[in-house]
Amino acid sequence: MLKIYNSLTRAKQDFVPITPGSVRMYVCGMTVYDHCHLGHARVLVVFDLVQRWLRASGLRVTYVRNITDIDDKIIKRALENKESIGDLTNRFIAFMNDDAAALGVEKPDHEPRATEYVPQMLELIGRLEKNGLAYQVPDGDVNFSVRKFPGYGKLSGKALDDLRAGERVDVDGTKEDPLDFVLWKHAREGEPSWPSPWGDGRPGWHIECSAMSSVLLGEHFDIHGGGQDLQFPHHENEIAQSEGAHQCRFVNYWMHNGFVRVDDEKMSKSLGNFCTIKEILRKYDPEVLRFFILRAHYRSPLNYSDTHLDDARQALSRLYTALRTANTDPPSIDWDEPHALRFRDAMDDDFNTPEACAVLFDLAAELNRSKSATLAGQLRGLAGLLGLLGRDPQVFLQAAPSEGGELTAEQIESLISERAAAKAQKDYTAADRIRADLLSAGVVLEDGASGTRWRRA
């Protein structure tokens, strides 16, 4: 039985879908005005994994991951770049898709863009107004009245009176309560706007997710995910809007992934201590990055450093090396086999991928001993559920990152032939020299009965 840690109840709970046999899941995706950083990589990979495991468990999944393509930062950036908002967002959506694909992230079933759902947002705001939860202020903004929604704070565990609005940012004096948030912003000079019953304007940040999720998944659905930093205020506000408008429960299970950190500090755009996925992929294979993310539990903080990536690379190489020795049945899973059982238990326990990875290593050790093609298929099969070990081992082991890898495969092969000739003459000095030269170029040789193999160190 799958258990999921629910942020709403702060406990692991048995997962029971609303509709038996199928799951509806919504994840907050990117605001597209810049390249994705490692934190984005984590959300992408973590919820891809969730989606994969739900499907592997036999559930029909509808997975929605939205794209925010209109907001303050996008407008600002487009202005700075002297380009249209559409050009800017389209460009970064394409970059995001490249990054996601490199990381082995499967396409969600729907990737709605905020700007395509403005009418539905207006409809929602209308309902909120009718339900007495929204009010318009003289300058034209429409706000959500936080005090009128009884459950406000239930997700983030905050009591309204404990929140110190205005402590760190100036309070907008037109709001009835400082914590009220904007549903509709009145149009401003030089900004895009849409017509509405409240005058021209554009949507507030939170309303898009309430609108898109209800259109694509219904007013009440199973799982809503995102980064921990969205828990408050974004998800709290989504609950207020959706439940306030529809008068029914919004989401059963809330999932939040932990932060990526640098030097024990949150990686974020505001702190400026982020590195983009692309930067990392210049030095590391994307599968190494995926493995690095999956080796920690999704709710734990994940500390980034090159040393840790190196470590992950070595570890992943061990798995691929094991596969190399017994090539191999096609990936297939025998769920009665002990490793598979352990793997399933781990994954059913709130997606415990570190434990699932440990099973993979145990399997690899046994594979190294037995050289069993069946076990190799099992290893590939289970790893495949994590989106790992899908490639030919030699391709992974010999892959050169775009930075480094100064020798080409052809050059390496030719030096190996040279060395083979030297070895045949028992000229070990020459042979060892070639091997040492290759090693300093990052290439490791392995002499075996059937000749010499190489891989990148």
- Known binding residues for Zn(2+) are 28, 209, 234, 238
- Applying CB under 7 A, the span of 34-42, 102-110, 398-406, 408-416 interacting with RNA comes to 34-42
The token pair that represents 308 in the structure block:
């840790």
Number of amino acids touching RNA (CB under 7 A): 87
List the one residue from 155, 163, 288, 347 that touches RNA (CB under 7 A). 163
Q: Which is nearer to RNA, 300 or 332 (CB)?
A: 300
The one-letter amino acid at 103? L
Rounded to the nearest whole angstrom, what is the least distance from the CB of residue 320 to RNA in the complex? Answer: 9
* Nearest to 78, CA basis, from 34, 118, 36, 113: 34
Of 167-226, which residues contact RNA (CB under 7 A)? 167-169, 179, 181, 205, 226
The only residue of 104, 201, 203, 233 in contact with RNA, by rule CB under 7 A: 233
Q: Which residue in the block uniquely carries the two structure tokens 């009440």? A: 220
Q: Which of 341, 369, 392, 411 binds RNA (CB under 7 A)?
A: 369
Binding residues among 129-158 for RNA as defined by CB under 7 A: 156-158
Between 245 and 326, whose beta carbon lies closer to RNA? Answer: 326
Amino acid identity, position 95: F
The residues, any chain, with a CB within 8 Å of residue 307's CB and separated by 6 or more, are none
The residue among 6 and 31 lying less far from RNA, judged by its C-beta, is 31
227 lies in the site for RNA, by CB under 7 A: yes
Could you tell me if 224 and 139 are in contact, meaning their C-beta atoms sit under 8 angstroms apart? no
Long-range CB contacts (< 8 A, 24+ apart) of 195-200? 196/122, 196/125, 197/122, 197/126, 198/125, 198/136, 198/140, 198/142, 199/140
Which residues have a Cβ under 8 Å from the Cβ of 399 and sit 6 or more positions away?
Answer: 285, 456
Q: What is the Cα–Cα distance from 208 to 113, expressed in whole angstroms?
A: 9
Residue 17 or 422 having the CB closest to RNA: 422
43 versus 61: smaller Cβ distance to RNA: 43
The secondary structure of 104-143 as a DSSP string is TPPPPSB--BGGGGHHHHHHHHHHHHHTT-EEE-TTS-EE
- Pick 126 or 361: Cβ nearer RNA: 361
* Interface of this chain with RNA, residues 389 to 408, rule: CB under 7 A: none
Q: Which of 297, 344, 380, 456 binds RNA (CB under 7 A)?
A: 297
End-to-end CA distance of the chain: 41
Residue 446 binds RNA (CB under 7 A) = yes
Nearest distance in Å: CB 298, RNA = 8
Quick note: the x/- pattern for RNA over 241-260, rule CB under 7 A, is: ----------------xxxx
Residue from 14, 162, 336, 410 touching RNA (CB under 7 A): that is 162
- Residue 441 is a binding residue for RNA (CB under 7 A): no
> Which residues lie below 8 Å from residue 164, measured CB to CB, with a gap of 6+?
none
Q: Are 136 and 78 in contact (CB under 8 A)?
A: no
Q: Is residue 438 a contact point for RNA (CB under 7 A)?
A: no
Residues 309-338 binding RNA (CB under 7 A) are: 310-311, 314-315, 318, 321-322, 325
Measured at the alpha carbon of residue 26, what is the angle toward residues 264 and 103, in degrees to the nearest 5?
A: 55
- Closer residue to RNA in complex, CB, 45/124: 45
Task: Please pick, from the candidates 303, 372, 374, 398, the single residue that binds RNA as defined by CB under 7 A.
Answer: 303
Is residue 276 involved in binding RNA (CB under 7 A)? no
Binding-site annotation: residue ranges for ATP: 269
The nearer residue to RNA, 150 or 301, going by C-beta atoms, is 301
Binding of RNA by 368 (CB under 7 A):
yes
Compare residues 61 and 422 and give the one whose CB is closer to RNA. 422
Orientation of helix 338-348 relative to helix 373-385, angle to 10°: 10
Where residue 80 falls (left for φ over 0; alpha for ψ -120 to 50; beta otherwise) is alpha
Q: Which residues are annotated as a binding site?
A: 28, 209, 234, 238, 269
Q: Which two tokens stand for residue 197?
A: 């019953």
Nearest distance in Å: CB 206, RNA: 8
Report the residue number, 282 or 369, with the smaller CB distance to RNA: 369
Q: To the nearest whole angstrom, how small is the minimum distance from the Cβ of residue 395 to RNA? A: 16
Tokens of 188: 């401003």
Residue 147 structure tokens: 């005090």
Using CB under 7 A as the binding rule, whether residue 82 contacts RNA is answered as no
Q: How far apart are CA 418 and CA 89, in angstroms?
A: 53
Q: Which of 331, 361, 372, 401 binds RNA (CB under 7 A)?
A: 361
